[in-house]
Amino acid sequence: MMQASAPRVAVARVITEVFQPPVVVAVQMIVSPAASPGFPGTLWYGAIAAALTCLLPFVMLLALVRAGRVTDHHVSERRQRGPVLAASLACVLVGLGVLAVIGAPPSVIAMVLALVGGILLLGLVSLVWKISGHAAAITSAAVSFVILFGPAWWAALLLVPAVVWSRLVLGAHTLAQLVAGALFGGAVVVGLWRLLLLWLG
C-alpha cells in the first residue's frame, strides 16, 4: 500500500466516489440498448435496467451502512461482501424478470445476465481474496463503450488506470487485486455479455 499526501488522497477519493461500481454499471446499463436495433429510442429500457440492477441495490447498501450492518458503501471488509453481493444478485434477478416481461432488447437482457455472472464470480472470489470491484466495473464499462460506439471512444480506457491509481492511493487494494479486477471486468464480464448477445440475438 502506498503512502500519499493529502492532496493526492483527496483526488483519489473523488475518483473513487465518482467511478464507484453502482454508478459506472448504471451508465453501462443505460447505454446497453445501443447494441440492438431501435437505439436511441430504446434508452428507456436501459434506464429501467439501471434503476433495478444498480440504483436499488445501492440504496439497500446505504441502508445497511446506516444501520451499522456494513462498514462503508465500498464494502471494504471482505467478509461483508458475500451478503451484500447476494442481496445485489436478488435485485438484479428481479430486474431481469421485469425487463423480460416488458420486452427489453436482447442487448439489455444480455448485459443484465452478464452482471449476474459477474456478481456470482466476484462473490466466490471475494470469499478468499479482495478482488477489486472498482477496477472490474470501470474496465467492463470502458471496453463496452469502445465496442458499442467504436474506436473514437478509446479514451474511455484511460479511466481504468485513473481508478486503479485512486484505489492504490487509498490503500483499498493491492496492485494484484486491481489488475485481477480489471482483467475480470474487461475480459470475463464483457466476454459474457458478447456471448449472451450472440445467443439471444
The per-residue pLDDT for 123 is 84
Residue 160 in contact with residue 15, Cβ under 8 Å? no
Residues of the chain with pLDDT under 50: 1-2
How far apart (Å, rounded) are the C-alpha atoms in residues 50 and 149? 19
Q: Give the pLDDT confidence of 142-159 residue by residue, as tens digits.
A: 999 999 999 999 999 999
SS (H, E, C) the chain: CCCCCHHHHHHHHHHHHHCCHHHHHHHHHHHHHHHCCCCCCCHHHHHHHHHHHHHHHHHHHHHHHHCCCCCCCCCCCHHHHHHHHHHHHHHHHHHHHHHHHCCCCHHHHHHHHHHHHHHHHHHHHHCCCCCCHHHHHHHHHHHHHHHHHCHHHHHHHHHHHHHHHHHHHCCCCCHHHHHHHHHHHHHHHHHHHHHHHHHHC
Residue 36 in contact with residue 42, Cβ under 8 Å? yes
Question: Whole-model pTM?
Answer: 0.90
Q: Give the pLDDT confidence of 91-126 residue by residue, as tens digits.
A: 989 999 999 999 999 999 999 999 999 988 988 898
Residues 166/125/130/75 CA torsion (nearest 10 deg): 80
